[in-house]
Chain A
Amino acid sequence: MQNLYKPDLMEVIGVRQHTSDVKSISLRFQDPERARQFTFVVGQFGIFSAFGAGESTFNICSSSNWRDHIEFCFRKVGRVTEALWQVEEGDTVGFRGAYGRGYPVEEWRGKDLIFLGGGIAMPPIRCAIWYALENREDYGKITVVYGARTVGDLVFVDELAQWAQHPRVQVIQCVDPGGQTPDWSGEIGFVPTVFERAQVPAGGAVSLVIGPPIMIKNTIPVLERMGARMSDVYTSLENRMKCGVGKCGRCNAGPVYVCKEGPVFTFQELQAMPLDY
Chain B
Amino acid sequence: MTALTHDALRKLVGEWMAAGKICVGPVEVKPGVVLFQRLASPQDLLLDGWVRPANSIKELLLPRHEVLYGYRVEKNRIELVDQPETVPEQIAICAHPCDAAALPILDKVFNWDFRDEAYNARRQATTVITLGCTRHDDECFCTSVGLGPLAERGSDAMLFDYGDGSFAVSSLTEKGRALLGEAQAAGGHTDAPPVRFDPKEAARFAVDHFADPFWQQHALACVGCGACAYTCPVCHCFDIVDEGNGRHGVRARNWDACQFPLFTLHASGHNPRHGQGDRQRQRIYHKFYVYPEKFGETLCTGCGNCARNCPVGLGVLPLVTEIPHAEPVQA
Contacts and interface: CB of A to CB of B under 8 A. Distances in A.
A248 B272 contact: no
Interface string B94-119: 00000000000000011011111110
Q: How large, as a class, is the contact surface on chain A?
A: 35 or more
B246 interface: yes
A106 interface: no
A51 B240 CA distance: 12
A5 B117 CA distance: 10
A32 interface: no
A248 B238 contact: yes
Interface in A64-121: 75, 77-78, 81, 88, 90-92, 94
Interface in A203-223: 212-213
Contacts of B82: 3, 6
A275 B242 CA distance: 31
A215 to B, nearest CB: 13
A5 B241 CA distance: 11
A3 B117 contact: yes
A77 B267 contact: yes
A242 B113 contact: no
B242 A9 contact: no
Interface in B231-262: 236-242, 244-247, 249, 251, 253, 256, 258
Contacts of A229: none
A247 B240 contact: no
A92 B77 contact: yes
B113 A245 contact: yes
Contact of A239 (B114, B272, B290): B272
A276 B238 contact: no
A60 to B, nearest CB: 17
Interface in A1-22: 1-7, 9
B289 to A, nearest CB: 6
Interface stretch (A137-145, A167-175, A178-186, A250-258): A250-258
Contacts of B268: 77, 212
Nearest to B262: A240
A75 B211 contact: no
Nearest to B110: A247
A5 B253 contact: yes
The 4 A-B pairs at the shortest CB distance, nearest first, are namely A249-B237, A245-B114, A52-B246, A274-B210
Interface of A: 1-7, 9, 49, 51-56, 75, 77-78, 81, 88, 90-92, 94, 212-213, 238-240, 242-243, 245-250, 252-255, 257, 260, 274-277
29 contacts: A3-B68, A3-B69, A3-B82, A4-B115, A5-B253, A6-B80, A9-B80, A51-B78, A52-B73, A53-B242, A54-B240, A54-B241, A92-B76, A239-B272, A243-B240, A245-B114, A246-B109, A247-B109, A247-B238, A248-B237, A249-B258, A250-B256, A250-B264, A255-B290, A255-B293, A255-B294, A257-B294, A275-B211, A276-B210
